[in-house]
Amino acid sequence: MSSPLAQGLLGERVSARQLIAVLDDHDLIGLRDGTPVLGEGGYLAESPWSFNGKTDFIELALITDVLRMLMPASDATAPEVSSYSLKHTAEWFLRPHCSYVSNGRLIWAAAALGLRLAAPDEAGSNLLVGVSERGHDYVRRMVSPGGSRPQADHYRPAGFTHLQTALAKATAGESATARWVQPTPVDQTAPFHDWLIRQVDRDDIISDLASDYAAGIRLSHHRIAHTPDELLAIFHEISHSPEAYDSVVSAIAEWMRTVPSAAPVRTERTGGDAHGHEGWGAGAGTIERVEYRCPCGDGEIIEEHDNVPGFREHDVRLDCDRCRVEWRFVDGRDVRNWGLEPVVGRVTV
């Protein structure tokens, strides 16, 4: 019990007394008429516990830390993650500190931690555990051999990196990391993201885009688009059909009509340079050029600043035949602050 791994890496360490009390008194997995309900194989499993008396407690403490990292599901959600699936995730995550995690120990640790448990009909030996389904899916895919790795981290549990680091340090024989402080949740509102998700139920190309986008978020294939700019950037990062671009433009056009105060679109900077110019007889100056990707990605937006005495000009233009038809610069902004909006009437139903 003196092992650093048994001290609770993400919170108070679970005590032996807590663990024993759960096997006696828990509503679902405590003794029933004096008979154990939980065994090594899980709920109502015949298999007795097989303790070795050496690493049992450390292993239970580590399993508790994995479950703690996964965070409780909201009370509004019924427990939905199978203990059997969780036991594999815990096993992969804890390797090599814990090479085998039994179904029974996973359920035991979950109960000791106070996570909600449910026995579905036909439960067999597996119970459903009230941890975040999204968070678990993320962790499982990060640690499972041959899993498809998440490409974005919006579902990464807050304690994931700390626990991984702490275990890696223990493996290397280094002393423990500083105590983990759970970050205060930041209220990150994302009105554009929320709006786009809500378009799933319509019946047009915007709903097709919204469905693809929602699936991409759910499966962590890409990050959250807080703004139309981010949606365009994500769109260029992932594979898509050529037609899909039309739905992106339509969605942005509708968003900007729905929310007139929405910021115009800016795109990613791709290059540029500045060089001195000897001038036209009234002294030297500079010529600066900045390049951005055009919205469709096939051309450029070019910003030019001539700062030569007697010849000062600031100009921005769309160097793309397609985008010149589909986008226009918002009036009243200075050149360095250019912003684009879709040409009105672009919305296709």
In the complex, the residues that contact Zn ion under the rule CB under 5 A are 294, 296, 298-299, 320, 322-323
Structure-token pair, residue 199: 């378009």
Cis peptide before 96 (omega within 30 of 0): yes
Q: How far is the CB of 336 from Zn ion (least distance, A)?
A: 21
DSSP per residue over 60-84, as a string?
HHHHHHHHHHH-BPPTTS---EEHH
Identity of the residue, 160 or 327, whose beta carbon is nearer to Zn ion in the bound complex: 327
The rounded distance, in Å, linking the Cα atoms of 227 and 233 is: 10
For the bound state, the minimum distance from the C-beta of residue 238 to Zn ion, rounded and expressed in Å, comes to 18
Q: What's the closest the beta carbon of residue 153 comes to Zn ion, in angstroms?
A: 30
**For the purposes of burial, counting CB atoms within 10 Å of the CB of 148, is it exposed (0-12), middle (13-18) or buried (19 or more)?**
exposed
CB of 287 to Zn ion, least distance (A): 24
49 vs 22, 42, 77, 110, 135, CA distance in Å? 15, 10, 31, 17, 30
CB closer to Zn ion, 30 vs 299: 299
Q: What are phi and psi of 93, to 5 degrees?
A: -65, -40
Nearer to Zn ion, 80 or 246 (CB): 246
90 vs 232, beta carbon nearer Zn ion = 232
Q: Cβ 265 to Zn ion, closest distance in Å?
A: 12
Q: Tokens 């997995």 map to which residue?
A: 29
Q: State which residue, 162 or 293, has the beta carbon closest to Zn ion.
A: 293
